[in-house]
Structure 1
Amino acid sequence: MKNRWNLLWILLAAVLVAGCAKKAEPAAVAAKAEPYKVAFVYIGPPGDLGWTHEHDQGRKAVEAEFGDKVKTVFIENVPEGPDATRIIRQYAQEGYNMIFATSFGYMDPMVEVAKEFPKVKFEHCSGYKTAENMSTYFGRIYQPRYLSGIVAGKMTKSNIIGYAAAFPIPEVVRGINAFTLGVRSVNPKAQVRVVWTNTWYDPVKEREAAVALLDAGADIIAQHQDTVEP
């Protein structure tokens, strides 16, 4: 009997303790993850219908694919040089996780800033300098330039083909060489004449270069510029 009463009191005590215990709070709702922040630095406007336009299409595709998991911003018409350094550094200071610099002349500014922000990922288009947190990207555009050279070599009647080009840097020279090789593969007599505009985005200068080449006898114009103006 005594053991029975002892058991009863133990059970009663257990119930009372359980009743007096603080009820467990419902698990807190997990905080919404912060979006991955990506910034794009453009040499021209997205409305150039060329280089910057296509980069901006890529930015929009990222937003469409990842929705609110990513936040993107861009700034246009950033000159190569000190202004680029300032803008890239500003985005890093504002907490952006990844920064795209979309012109060759942004290479050294990005290298400088990448050293200051080791936790930020930097992506540079068409350059050749890298770091632990900085990579480069570029398509093999010399291959289609070779093919377009074949077409131009077949089509020309004057055997003079014009080429409006921005700057004598590796990517542009490589493209001119590939185009010329394509021309010569089907038309050894043809000439490729180059006019340098020394600008990526200046529709007026680009058009003037094309007109000068036409005046020199070219009947086909190729280009390495950011717009479709030539």
Structure 2
Amino acid sequence: MRVRVLDERADVYQQSNKESNVVGELRLGDEFTLGKVVKYKGAEWVASTMSDGTRGYVLGDIKVYCIREVILCQKNANVYQNPDSNSKVKMTLKKGEKLTLLNLINQNGSDWVEVRTEEGEVGFISAETRVKNIASDELFKEKDYKAFMTGVLIIGGLIGIPLIYGVGGGISYFESLPWSFVSCIVFLIAFRRNGTISWGRAVPAIICAMFLAKTYNESSGRPSFAAGGFFGILLVFACGYAGIGVDRLLKKTKDQ
């Protein structure tokens, strides 16, 4: 979860205790990522990753604001230089434009939200401005990319696809392995590292895999396949998420 620091300062420790080394310092307004919560001697600590990639732990009582990406729902909205409607209007946003909510501020009895636009401009909008959260099309987080793809290749490529599409279709296990990995590679091509699907890459890859399987079958007379369809997609997703589950279990065991 991406957040912004509201405290004046906060130390980032190497381990979840104050006896460990301080590996970094967060200041008011700094942005960083919060991870899992752990307890040590009755105190709550939260895993954190600073903007420069430094990892450590911060005390659970740190004050933060959850950063959100939203879309403007009303016709337009002024972005002010200060949390005051009498201050300079830096720009006017139109309906449908994206912005990032950075902080909630109360100024003279009125609530304002500090925002950042897509152009990088920072300013303030009224807290009454109508916005909605951006629906995420991520199927997994970027940090889980390697684990997801490992699950697809190992669990799917060596077990799931060859047993169901190969052996289940009357093809020997070893004869089905090359086509199993061809099917897996299609999914590797289709997915971006951030967990979204690139249909511009996926569609040509699927067509090529199906053409390759058909050509091989017709020229050699030997069986071939390209795992696909609704069931094939579900199978590959299941294998990918199984890879993420195994990876998290191993990391949890390592941290204990």
TM-score normalised by the chain length of structure 2? 0.27
More helix by share: 1
Q: Specify the structure having the higher radius of gyration (Cα).
A: 1
**Bigger RCO of structures 1 and 2 (CA < 8 A, at least 6 apart):** 1
TM-score normalised by the chain length of structure 1? 0.29
